[in-house]
Amino acid sequence: MRDIARIGRQREENIMLYLLQPTGSMWYLYKENRFHADLPDTGISISLSQEQLIDALLKGSFSPKIPSA
């Protein structure tokens, strides 16, 4: 996560990390220095610090979308 944040800040660009299950996407937003879960179907956007994202992932939140075969 630190490397992703560092790269985003160096390049001055947002980085899409992965698609969320069941719908949405997880981003690193360099201007805010935050991770961002975008859930368009529900109209919800959640901004997280690095620590908050790690805690959420450990609890099973913001799971990556598994590609269908």
Task: Note whether residue 68 is domain-resident.
Answer: no
Half-sphere exposure of residue 9: CA atoms within 13 angstroms, side-chain side? 10
Task: Note whether residue 63 is domain-resident.
Answer: no
Q: What is the reported pTM?
A: 0.86
As for how many domains the chain has, the answer is 1
Q: Residue 38: which H helix or E strand, with range?
A: strand 34-39
Task: Note whether residue 7 is domain-resident.
Answer: yes
What does the pLDDT read at residue 68? 72
pLDDT tens for residues 5-55?
999 999 999 999 999 988 899 999 999 999 999 998 888 999 999 999 999
Task: Note whether residue 23 is domain-resident.
Answer: yes
Domain of residue 40: give its range: 2-58
